[in-house]
Chains A and B, each alone.
Chain A
Amino acid sequence: MPLPDQIIEAPLRLLGEYEVDCVIVGGVAAAIHGSSLLTNDLDVCYSRDPPNLKRLAQALQSVNARLRNAPEGLPFILDDETLKRGLNFTFTTDIGDLDLLGEVRGLGQYDEVVAGSLTFELFGYRFPVIDIGKLIVAKRAAGRQKDLLALPELEAIQEAQAMQLGQPKS
């Protein structure tokens, strides 16, 4: 199946349209902060409040979301109850891949991750983007080679952001 044209933009628009409370994390957050490293899916940490799980389930249903790399025929009902019973999900959808994190290693759940985030207006919707200091903590905690490789550039961007704000590096 050919890739959709807007593999990052379209899932963002979807989350905005359904008013899902989430914070952008991972490689896309790094790119928004200015990193030149590449990523090919969108990672968000979502609020696990019941009304938000309902909106999130509706959004996912609308784009035929299914578990990525799950065995064919694996029974999976995509609704708010399923989201409530799980925590972290990796989905493929008709508009691109979407990773939903109930918890970010090294940081915690939505409330901890969203605290201190910057809000960006993206494609007509407002999204919190994880603070770069927290992104660095999360990448260090994830500890995979690709996360560790991202650190030197992110630390340079963090130092530049601090200069811009006239603050010492945290």
Chain B
Amino acid sequence: MRREIEDYFLNPPPGSAAARAAEFGIDLTLTLENLRLTAEERIRKLDNFIKSVEKLRKSVRIIDPSNATPRPDH
């Protein structure tokens, strides 16, 4: 990737779309990380993330707030 593009996301020029995105709250380091990947890698990253969220969702147990003290074995 060209140095100019890296700079654009890491130090957005005032008035640029990147500056507006950063102001909006977008973490442009994540965007830059994606841009360093190939298109296939971007899709696989998405797939892995979806799968991880699904695993996390299945592992969640709802704990009654009255006994929500962390246990040492967890």
Contact = CB atoms under 8 A, between A and B. Distances in A.
Contacts of A163: 4-5, 8
Interface in A129-170: 129, 152-153, 155-160, 163-164, 169
Nearest to A39: B46
Q: Is the interface of B mostly helix, strand, loop or mixed?
A: helix
Contacts, number: 91
B30 interface: yes
B39 to A, nearest CB: 5
B46 A156 contact: no
A38 B69 CA distance: 33
Nearest to A12: B43
A121 B26 CA distance: 28
Contacts of A40: 50
Query: Which bracket fits the contact residues of B?
Result: 20 to 34
Given A156-B20, A163-B4, A164-B2, A8 B43 contact: yes
A162 to B, nearest CB: 10
Contact of B27 (A5, A36, A155): A36
22 contacts: A2-B54, A8-B46, A9-B43, A31-B34, A31-B42, A31-B43, A31-B46, A34-B35, A34-B42, A36-B30, A36-B33, A39-B46, A40-B50, A120-B39, A122-B39, A123-B40, A129-B39, A155-B20, A156-B18, A156-B21, A159-B8, A163-B8
Given A156-B18, A163-B4, 15 more contacts: A7-B50, A9-B44, A32-B39, A34-B35, A36-B30, A36-B33, A38-B50, A39-B46, A152-B17, A152-B21, A155-B20, A156-B9, A159-B8, A160-B8, A164-B5
Interface of B: 2, 4-5, 8-9, 12, 16-18, 20-21, 24, 26-28, 30-31, 33-35, 39-40, 42-44, 46-47, 49-51, 54
Interface of A: 2-3, 5-9, 12, 28, 31-32, 34-36, 38-40, 120-123, 129, 152-153, 155-160, 163-164, 169
